Amino acid sequence: MHKRTTPKIFARSKQLHRNMTPAEAKLWTRLRAHRLTGVHFRNQHAIGNYVVDFCAPRRKLIIELDGGQHLAQQEYDAERTAFLEAKGYRVLRFWNHEVINDIEGVLRVIDLALREK
């Protein structure tokens, strides 16, 4: 049993890890293995009833990538962000097209957030 989530949510996170979107895969290649300022990130990290796209657990930073479907689920995303912030996390959100078209700009924003901690 995982302390931070249920077995069902943990299994879902593993499934999402194996089926990343193109934007998630592109960002993951730049975050994995401590590649960004030596910070450890996890992808498809389960917290409570949610699976976040990327998380730096020791830095309490979450990165979420949003596609077009997020326009229709703004209330759900707000609830989810409130839950994560209540757990002490800072949540950064980027659109998929930002990652695909301007990965360096996205990485600069993430780097700045890590420096603020």
Domain range list for the chain: 7-116
b/e 79-117 (16+ beta carbons within 10 angstroms → b):
ebbeebeeeebbbeebebebbeeebeebbeebeebbeee
Predicted confidence at residue 69, as pLDDT, reads: 63
> Residue 19: helix, strand or coil by DSSP?
coil
Judge if pTM exceeds 0.85. Answer: no
What CATH number does the domain located at 7-116 have? Answer: 3.40.960.10
Per-residue pLDDT of the chain (117 residues; tens, 9 = 90+): 456 766 677 666 677 667 788 999 999 999 998 988 899 999 999 898 898 999 999 999 999 998 866 556 788 888 999 999 999 999 999 999 999 999 999 999 999 999 986
pLDDT (0 to 100) of residue 76: 86
